[in-house]
């Protein structure tokens, strides 16, 4: 079973390579591939976190959380290697992020997915994320491109981790 932990600088190159490989696998343009070359800076705020999933010292998953404002966190770079998909790893990773978000007093989590990433969209819906249209935000470049991305929001203030979806 893969292990989930916080970002460690020694994994920087492996994380950047892993995320680039995901973009290639999915056929996504790299226009929105930013912040992976320096995770410590990109996710280094007081209310930020970057989780890494490793199996036998190999990076097989990532999930970042960034502060948009004092009540709202942005989930970014939520990826799993193909061999880890469909095994509950994404659910466990999301639980960790929600627990962290609660500790940091976030009330809402938001995210974007490529419009053609239907598998991820179904996962987020099962986990209680609802579609919404964000206002364009300089801290969230994807929010300015609804022609490419779809957006989801989860109110964690009242969200129970015992809920069957998670």
Residue 56 lies in a domain: yes
Number of domains in the chain: 1
Q: pTM to 2 decimals? A: 0.92
Residue 165 lies in a domain: no
CA angle 64–87–95, rounded 5-degree value: 40
What is the rounded distance in angstroms from the CA atom of residue 148 to the CA atom of residue 58?
A: 31
Residue 71 sits in a domain of what CATH number?
Answer: 3.40.630.30
Residue 161 lies in a domain: no
Residues of the chain falling short of pLDDT 50:
161-165
For 76-111, the pLDDT digits (tens) are 999 999 999 999 999 999 999 999 999 999 999 999
Residue 145 lies in a domain: yes
CA angle 67–45–96, rounded 5-degree value: 65
């Amino acid at each position: 079973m893969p292990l989930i932990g916080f970002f460690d600088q020694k994994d920087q190159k492996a994380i950047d390579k892993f995320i680039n490989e995901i973009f290639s696998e999915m056929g996504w343009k790299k226009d929105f591939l930013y912040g992976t070359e320096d995770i410590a800076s990109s996710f280094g705020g007081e209310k930020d976190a970057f989780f890494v999933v490793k199996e036998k010292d190999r990076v097989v998953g990532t999930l970042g959380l960034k502060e948009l404002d004092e009540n709202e966190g942005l989930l970014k770079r939520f990826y799993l290697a193909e061999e880890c998909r469909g095994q509950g790893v994404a659910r466990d990773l999301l639980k960790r992020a929600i627990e962290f978000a609660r500790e940091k007093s976030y009330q809402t989590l938001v995210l974007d997915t490529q419009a053609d990433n239907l598998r991820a969209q179904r996962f987020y819906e099962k986990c209680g994320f609802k579609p919404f249209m964000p206002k364009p935000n300089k801290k969230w470049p994807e929010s300015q491109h609804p022609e490419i991305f779809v957006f989801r929001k989860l109110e964690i203030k009242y969200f129970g981790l015992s809920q069957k979806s998670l």
